[in-house]
Amino acid sequence: MNLHADILIIGGGLSGTMLAVQLLRRPGQRRILVIEPRAELGRGEAYSAVELGHTLNGNAARMSVDPDNPDDLTQWLAEHIASGGWPESAEQQVPVSELFPPRGLFGVYVQQRLAEAREDGAQQGSTVEHIRAEAVDLQIDTDSVQLTLENGQQLHGAYAVLATGMFPAARTPQTQSSGLNAAALDPWNVAAMRQLDAQSSVLIIGSGLTMVDAVVSLEQAGHRGPIEVFSRHGLLPHVRRQPPGWVDFLAEDHGIRSPRQLLRELRRHCRDAIAQGIDWQAPLDTVRAHIGRLWSQATDVQRRQFVRHVRPWWESHHHRSPPLSAQLVERLLSEGRLRIHAASFKGLEPCAEGGVSIRIRPRGEAQTCVVHGAALINSSGIEYDWRRVARPLPQQLLTRGLVQPGPLALGIAAAPDGAVVGEHGQAANRLFAMGPPLRGMWWESTAVTDVALQAKALAARLTDLERLRG
């Protein structure tokens, strides 16, 4: 194997694949290596799901991977359905742009765009190769980046990009582990759930979108027993609807800067919308385009206020559930099989009679209590604090001081162009990051549109650096 490349991309999920696509489309000849332990590029954690019930939480019109064509996914889906793919789409009875595709099918779409970009790149002599391995260490010298793989091999590149994607709490070894994941079922493992007694009680920690996926998994596994969900605030994701357009009030008033100002103005617009018979989601959806600006210009105090006081409501109102999944959750709630409890998880308890026991503290109460179930699912979302992710590469980068935690320990610190900032505050000239690791910089850095825009900008930055190198 030729171990030298122009650009090393660490991570081959959506982030790494979209960066490779953008690099292949740009003028110039370059060799790109994508280091990804999975068998396929373009899927990552989010799009490796195989169950049709695990769908995107945004409709096709919102999920294009082409920042220059917002209708790209809609167009691809229309062709795919016309050729006989995804016959189940007819059940949704909506236009193609309003469909919520299965996440596995979205992975196919991403892979096809990569295949097309490979053909474009080949015309200029550019290539992308998949190195199926886990990166465990990285070092930077004056003229290259050296990446060490789990088998001891070393790769060399002029530049490296951390496109590590998301670390789901349910699948992430943690340095401060409570043993939760060792005792819990994977939220997406339908086969494991089929081994449960269909009438048994299942406990779920967390009430966000991962919980919704877990409930879908249980339903598809044939589970028909009670489901008890525990989260600190007891908030469920709202269902995603398709509201009409609304005035972009944040574009008209840049004086809105603090979380308090934003909430006050947003509530006013939502009240106005409701008074006009318009869905309150319409004003909320206009905020999305301004989150990066608002977050980056906020003070540390304002950011902490947002995370502590606003975040749970932002997550439940903004990160909304796809309609079919929301309908299932609503049905189970009405049947009494699904119950949501506002309570904090305090740890596992010894359990002699089989199953699993957890200690929780109900919201507003000082005393804790123990709850027992046949099985436990960890649906507590994404782990953004790299200090808690017990994976070799994040730990080595932190130990070497090549990265430092981002604002409020969300992801890692970086300059506006994605250059990683080390422990001494210096922006690296050969190491960059994109996607979820930049959560602390932009707050929202995980959505498909976020990743697509970052990939385009970073590809332009890297090709500019290549020109400067000569």
- Whether residues 158 and 39 share a domain: the answer is yes
For residue 426, what are the contacts with CB-CB under 8 A and spacing of at least 6? none
Residue 183's Cβ-count burial label (10 Å; 0-12, 13-18, 19+) is middle
Residue 256 neighbours by CB distance under 10 Å:
18
Q: Is residue 327 domain-shared with residue 302, that is, in the same domain?
A: no
For 27-78, what is each residue's pLDDT tens digit? 999 999 999 999 999 999 889 888 889 999 999 999 999 999 999 999 999 9
271 and 232 within one domain: no
Please check whether residues 328 and 308 belong to one and the same domain.
no
Asked if residue 208 has pLDDT above 60, the reply is yes
Does residue 71 lie within any of the structural domains?
Answer: no
Out of 277, 294, 318, pick the residue that ends a domain: 318
CA separation for the pair 73, 101 (Å, rounded): 10
**Same domain? 463 vs 396:** yes
Which range is least confidently modeled, 172-176, 197-201, 341-345, 391-395?
172-176
Whether 431 has a pLDDT exceeding 60, the answer reads yes
Q: What is the CATH classification number for the domain harbouring 225?
A: 3.50.50.60
* Residues 185, 132 share a domain: no
Residues 142 and 181 in one domain: no
Give domain status of residue 33, yes or no.
Answer: yes
How many Cα atoms sit within 13 Å of 409 on the Cβ side?
A: 6
Give the residue, 190 or 259, on which the prediction is more confident.
190
User: Which pair of structure tokens corresponds to residue 50?
Assistant: 């195989």
Mean of pLDDT values over 376-393:
92
User: What residue numbers bound the domain in which 40 lies?
Assistant: 4-54+102-167+384-469
In a domain, 75, yes or no: no
Do 318 and 235 contact (CB within 8 A), yes or no? no
Domain membership flag for residue 76:
no
pLDDT at 217 over 90: yes
224 and 259 belong to one structural domain: no
Neighbours of 151 (CB within 10 A): 8
**Distance (Å, rounded) from C-alpha 406 to C-alpha 410?**
5
Render pLDDT for 322-380 as a digit per residue (tens, 0 to 9).
999 999 999 999 999 999 999 999 999 988 778 999 999 999 999 999 999 999 999 98
Question: Would the pLDDT of 137 be above 70?
Answer: yes
Q: Tell me whether residue 83 is in a domain.
A: no
- Answer whether 357's CB lies under 8 Å from 370's CB: yes
Asked if pLDDT for residue 178 goes beyond 80, the answer is no
Among 4-8, 104-108, 387-391, 431-435, name the one with the lowest average pLDDT. Answer: 387-391
Residues 279 and 306 in one domain: yes
Whole-number pLDDT of residue 174: 62
Q: Is 345 helix (H, G, I), strand (E, B) or coil?
A: strand
What is the layout of strands, in order, in the sheet containing 227-231?
Answer: 369-373, 356-362, 338-349, 227-231, 202-205, 375-378
Query: Is 132 inside any structural domain?
Result: yes
Tokens of 13: 């999920």
* Lowest-confidence region among 107-111, 115-119, 257-261, 317-321: 257-261
Average per-residue pLDDT in the chain?
Answer: 93
pLDDT classification of 177: cutoffs 50, 70, 90? low
The closest alpha carbon to 229, from 49, 56, 380, 55, belongs to: 380
Statement to judge: residues 348 and 427 lie in one domain:
no
> Is 396 a residue whose pLDDT tops 90?
yes
pLDDT for 17 equals 98
**Three-state SS for 427?**
strand
Total structural domains within the chain: 3
Whether 234 is covered by a domain: the verdict is: yes
Q: Are residues 347 and 371 in the same domain?
A: yes
Average pLDDT over residues 84-103: 94
Burial category of 201 from C-beta neighbours within 10 Å (exposed 0-12, middle 13-18, buried 19 and up): middle
What average pLDDT score do residues 7-30 get? Answer: 97
User: Does residue 37 lie in a domain region?
Assistant: yes
* Residue 440 pLDDT > 60: yes
**352, 378, 404 - which closes a domain:** 378
CB 249 within 8 A of CB 255: no
Query: Is the separation of the CB atoms in 240 and 99 below 8 Å?
Result: no
Question: How much is the pLDDT for 176?
Answer: 54
| Spatial distance between the Cα atoms of 241 and 355, rounded to a whole number of angstroms | 38
Residue that finishes a domain, picked among 378, 393, 411: 378
Same domain flag for 294 and 403: no
175 pLDDT band (50/70/90 cuts)?
Answer: low
Residues 121-150, mean pLDDT to the nearest whole number:
96
